[in-house]
Amino acid sequence: MLRRLYDWTMSLAATRDAEKALAGVSFIESSVFPIPPDVLLIPMVLAERAKWLRYAALCTVASVAGAVLGYLIGAFLFDLLGQPILAFYGAEDSFAKVQGWYDRWGGWGVLFAAVTPFPYKVLTIFSGFTGLNFLTFLIVSIIGRGMRFTLVAWLLYRFGEPIRTFIERNLGLLFTLFMVLLIGGFVAVKYIF
């Protein structure tokens, strides 16, 4: 099953709608969607390595735009949308801790979430809700998401076929590691906040 999903994703990465899908996933992942854009970015770069920088830039721009949506949800639509989204991720009861944490760390927390597998959408919504300075939020989001997607895309560009061979040979292990990191990020939300 994993092999078929991998093959399907690789074939999707080579279609003419792949960039639209990548932008859509990158946008929505920053505010509500649990699956990171890497699931499309990786096969797209492996399918067309010369476009690595274009794909990284597309991911970054769409992700930051989605982060702004998350911020706006936290600032203006928290009761209607923000609270249900945070409840889904198990982070709805953490406001006092987050407020204190933001008073101390602010943009550094957003930068941390932007670069790591930590669920970025949780901090975009919290940032709006807690009133983190929007310019600080925007700058650290651009830096963090840009670093993350550019590094992933560049590594795939630089080490292309060996990386692809490694992925294909170790698909089960890498999927397990990916899921551990993804779930670990959501668990971290519960215990950090």
Highest mean pLDDT among 17-26, 63-72, 97-106, 128-137: 63-72
In whole angstroms, give the CA distance from residue 33 to residue 35: 6
DSSP character for 80? I
Structure-token pair, residue 44 = 């797209």
Q: Is 158 exposed, middle or buried (0-12, 13-18, 19+ CB in 10 A)?
A: exposed
What are the residue boundaries of the structural domains of the chain, listed by start? 25-192
DSSP character for 79? I
Q: What confidence score (pLDDT) does residue 6 get?
A: 58
Query: In whole angstroms, how far apart are CA 155 and each of 45, 94, 131, 143, 148?
Result: 10, 36, 36, 18, 11
Highest mean pLDDT among 7-11, 74-78, 187-191: 74-78
Q: What confidence score (pLDDT) does residue 91 get?
A: 63
Is 100 or 130 the better-scoring residue by pLDDT? 130
In whole angstroms, give the CA distance from residue 44 to residue 38: 9
Is pLDDT at 113 greater than 70 in this prediction?
Answer: no
Is pLDDT at 115 greater than 70 in this prediction?
Answer: no
Q: What confidence score (pLDDT) does residue 85 get?
A: 75
Q: What confidence score (pLDDT) does residue 106 get?
A: 65
**How many CA atoms lie less than 13 Å away from 193 in the CB half-sphere?**
26
pLDDT in tens, 119-164: 777 788 888 988 888 998 899 899 988 988 898 899 889 887 777 6
pLDDT band at 72 (very low <50, low <70, confident <90, very high): very high
Is pLDDT at 2 greater than 60 in this prediction?
Answer: no
Residues of the chain above pLDDT 70, percent: 61
In whole angstroms, give the CA distance from residue 63 to residue 23: 8
The pLDDT of 44-61, averaged and rounded, is 92
pTM above 0.85, yes or no: no
Q: What confidence score (pLDDT) does residue 134 get?
A: 93
Is pLDDT at 26 greater than 70 in this prediction?
Answer: yes
Amino acid found at 30: S
Is pLDDT at 188 greater than 70 in this prediction?
Answer: no
